[in-house]
A and B are shown apart, each in its own frame.
Chain A
Amino acid sequence: ETGVTQTPRHLVMGMTNKKSLKCEQHLGHNAMYWYKQSAKKPLELMFVYSLEERVENNSVPSRFSPECPNSSHLFLHLHTLQPEDSALYLCASSRLASGGAGTGELFFGEGSRLTVL
């Protein structure tokens, strides 16, 4: 199995739909992240979970709702999205050192390509 697995790889949804993106990591890491990748823009950090507790929420609209039930799984629940939310959503994981600082290296999944009609 690959280190970080995201499903689905592609998702098309209408603005009134509710869907979820799933991420699973098999690396024994204790931090997980959601990033948004749009064309010609820097990667945007959306959420960070450290030891299953949300520690960062970078002003993300409430139509995106993360869930981290355990250290291996991360979800991004989507509802009433807008066309400008169409992007590649990347999940990543890392190991935190004692004290909660990052060790630097993020391991990414292949992403979920979302299209909102």
Chain B
Amino acid sequence: GNSVTQMEGPVTLSEEAFLTINCTYTATGYPSLFWYVQYPGEGLQLLLKATKADDKGSNKGFEATYRKETTSFHLEKGSVQVSDSAVYFCALRGGSARQLTFGSGTQLTVLP
């Protein structure tokens, strides 16, 4: 079956530091890959996505590249802000599946 593995948190960074959150997956076929973000007290929001190998999703300074050879979709940002503090979820949708499979989430705290 499909599964997603994310690096465990929590991750604590200073403002303007470089961020990487690792995500690897197991899936049959050619899944679509997603990063969702959950700010405190809110539901999940789509941050970015990629639907085929070598695609790069980007939004709000965050980027992730769909690497089929390493089955990875690592999230990166060059300079984090305090407002980026949230929980980040990697997810995939395999083939004709209706639903997403999520990772366990990574808590990010950015200090001023």
State the A residues within 8 Å of B (CB).
4, 6, 31, 33, 40-43, 45, 48, 50, 55-56, 90, 92, 94, 96, 99-102, 104-111
Contacts and interface: CB of A to CB of B under 8 A. Distances in A.
Given A42-B103, A104-B49, A104-B51, A90 B43 contact: yes
What secondary structure prevails in chain A residues at the interface with B? strand
B4 A102 contact: no
B41 A110 contact: yes
Contacts of B104: 40-42
A4 B43 contact: yes
B44 A56 contact: no
Contacts of A106: 36, 44, 46, 100
B93 interface: yes
B81 interface: no
Contacts of A101: 95-98
